[in-house]
Copies of this chain bind each other. A is one copy, B any other.
Amino acid sequence: MATYVLVHGAWHTGELFEEVAAPIRGAGHEVHLPTIAGNRPGDEKTIGLAPAIASIVDYLVSNDLSDVILLGHSYGGMIITGVADAVPERLRRLIYWNAFVPNDGECLNDMVPPHYVALFDAVSGQSSDNSVMLPYPIWREAFINDGDAALAQSSFDRLNPHPYATFTDPINLKTNPADMQVAKSYINATSDTALPQSLGWHPRLSEKLGLFRLVQTPGSHEMCFSDPAGLAEAIMAAGRD
């Protein structure tokens, strides 16, 4: 059986993946749900990308995890790319689930349409701590379009303000993802419009991985809430062997 470490996206925490982890654990695997520094209760929101990545490296090291299948969701793609660059010897496979795939020197905002960057700049500028939240209408229509209104609201209520510097800091990599020797998968939820599909996740970002295993699944950007069982199936298909 395998060891999965699932790394959440912006505004999320690890515990929001509990319903995804349950069926994976039910299939006999070990599943870890760390929360990235900056998204833990009480964390400073001024944290940048490097310490955010370091917090997941530390999690793997302090728990002495090896042969890990490491998944990143959305912003989590920045994190797992940095982790893979730092401790490749601990990893069996990377899984990007509708996630950003950076090359050396790129930041998350480099892969986002200009109207989102303008929105994030404005929202973070009005905060006292350079944090950013997603306006509810965007969450409801573009992120969790496959859920009903009650689920959209209850999941939104569980989000936390995100440290905006992690979107604007460029990543430092020794090796770009296409050249990493670790095995790679990309899960694409076919109704995900968190990025406009004209400028979407797959194949635009997925193909930055070089050789990778594609798993497509129906669903939105927030299948962790709207279809956790379907997401768990996709993860296990992406992660097997």
CB of A142 within 8 Å of the partner chain = yes
**Cβ contact within 8 Å between B213 and A148:** no
Which residues of B have CB within 8 Å of A202? 197
The chain B residue sitting closest to A148, CB to CB, is B240
- Count of A residues near B, CB < 8 Å? 32
Contacting residue for A213 out of B145, B183, B207, CB 8 A? B145
Q: Which of A152, A191, A202 has the most chain B CB atoms closer than 10 A to its own CB?
A: A191
**Cβ contact within 8 Å between A203 and B197:** yes
Interchain nearest-CB distance for A145 vs B (Å): 5
0/1 per residue, A183-220, Cβ < 8 Å to B? 10000001101001110101110010001111110100
CB of A41 within 8 Å of the partner chain = no
Query: Can you list 11 A-B contacts (CB < 8 A)?
Result: A137-B211, A140-B241, A141-B183, A142-B212, A145-B215, A148-B241, A149-B241, A191-B214, A196-B203, A197-B214, A198-B207
Additional 10 contacts, C-beta under 8 A, given A137-B211, A141-B212, A148-B241: A142-B212, A142-B213, A145-B213, A146-B215, A148-B240, A149-B241, A190-B190, A191-B214, A193-B214, A216-B218
